[in-house]
Amino acid sequence: MRIKMKITMLPGDGVGPEVCREAVRVLKTLNHYYDCDFQFDEKPIGGAAIREHDNPLPDATLQACLKSDAVFLGAVGAPEFDHLSSQLRPEAGLLRLRTALGGFANLRPAISYPAIADCSPLRESRVKGADVLTVRELLGGMYFSEPRGFGPERESAFNTMRYTIPEIERVARVAFDLARTRRKIVTSVDKANVLETSQLWRNTVNAVAQEYPDVKLDHMYVDACAMHLITTPTRFDVLLTENLFGDILSDESAAITGSLGMLGSATIGGKVNLYEPVHGSAPDIAGKGIANPLGAIASAAMLLRHSADMPQEADDLEEAINDVLEAGHRTADLIEPIKTALAAKRHLASTSEMGKQVERAFAARLDGRFAYHAV
C-alpha cells in the first residue's frame, strides 16, 4: 500500500513541541510496514511565531498548512503575551488558522479506559464503559460572530451569537454520520428555553434527523448536559452542540478519562483537516518532560482515520494506547498521589518514555496483524 502525505507540524508553545515529537514518532512506525512517505514540515504558530515574526500566524505558516494533506498542532498560548491585544495574542493565530482551513466540525472523543478509571475524580462505577464523542460546531457562534468589542471607555463589552441554518445542517450531518458508526444515538445540546439561536439549532437538527431514521435523537439543555456528563456519562454516545457549549462540555468530559492530557481532537470538513490534543500549552510544566503525550497520539490516530484513510491502523494505534495503560505505564497526571499502594505498582514515565511505549505497542499490533495475513 503506497501512502504519501504532507503533514504540516505546528508544535507551538509550552508542552506542544514535546507532545508533537511523540506523535511523529508513532506515525513514523508505519514506515516499517507500508510504502509510506509521511513528510513532516515544521512551522511556527502562536507565541513561538510572535517571538520570531511578531505575528501569531505568519503567512508562510498559513500557506504551508493550506498546501498540506493534514495539519497537526501542539498547543498555543503563553502568559508572557497576555498583555497584547486580542488580535495579536497566540490564540488569535489559532482562530485565524481554523477559519482559513475551513474545518467546521470539531471531534473530541472522551473514553474511560479501565486501567486508569481510578484516575477520574468520578466514581469508577459511574465512568466504567463511558465513550462520548463531542461534535462541536467550530466556525460560528459567539467566538466568530460580529459585532463584538467594547463600549465607550471600555465600561461595557458585547459579543454576538449567530447561526444560520446551513451552518447547523452541515455539522449535524457529521454527527449523525458518525453516530451510525457507533451506538446510533445523538444528543443535541442547546439552550432553547432562552436563546433564539438555540431554538433555530433545535428546529434545524430535528429536520436533519429525518434523513437518519436509524439514529435516535434526543435534546438536552446545556446545564442539564453538564450535570449528566458527571453523574451518568454512559448515557451519551454522540454529543452535538454549538461552539461555546462544545468548548466547555468537551473539556468537562476530561473527568471521564481522568486527565485532560488524554483527550485528542480532529477538526474536519474544510480544505485541510486539523488535529490537536485538547490540553493546551500547560506552561507550568513545559520543558520538564512530564507532559502526557497520549492526547497528541490519540490525535495522530484520528489523522490516520480521517485524513490518511487508514481506519484499521487508527484502531491499532488506539488499542496500543490501551495496551500501554494496561501494562501500568503512567505519566505524572495519571498517578493519584493519595493512592500510594496502587501507584507503587505502576511505572512513572516521562513524555518521551510514554511515546516509546506506545510506539512499541503499536508495532506489536502491526506485527501481529501482518503475521496473521502472512499465514
The set of cell numbers assigned to 81 is: 503575551
The set of cell numbers assigned to 194 is: 432562552
Please, are residues 261 and 277 in contact by the beta-carbon 8 Å criterion?
A: yes
Q: How far is CA 158 from CA 16, 95, 143, 155, in A?
A: 32, 19, 12, 11
If DSSP states are collapsed to H, E and C, what string results for 266-281?
A: EEECCCCCEEEECCCC
Cα separation of 354 and 325, whole Å? 10
| Burial class of residue 59 (count of CB atoms within 10 Å of its CB; 0-12, 13-18, 19+) | exposed
Cα separation of 155 and 102, whole Å? 34
- Angle at Cα 181 formed by Cα 180 and Cα 185, nearest 5°? 50
| Burial class of residue 375 (count of CB atoms within 10 Å of its CB; 0-12, 13-18, 19+) | exposed
The set of cell numbers assigned to 110 is: 472522551
Residues taking part in catalysis: 143, 191, 223, 247, 251
Cα separation of 256 and 292, whole Å? 16
Q: Helices in 35-83 by DSSP H: which ranges?
A: 46-53, 59-66
Closest by alpha carbon to 10, among 80, 81, 61?
A: 61
CA atoms within 13 A on the CB side of 288: 12
Show contacts of 122-130: CB within 8 Å, 24+ apart. Answer: 122/230, 122/233, 122/255, 122/256, 126/230, 126/231, 126/232, 126/233, 126/234, 127/233, 127/234, 127/255, 127/256, 128/234, 129/234, 130/233, 130/234, 130/236, 130/256
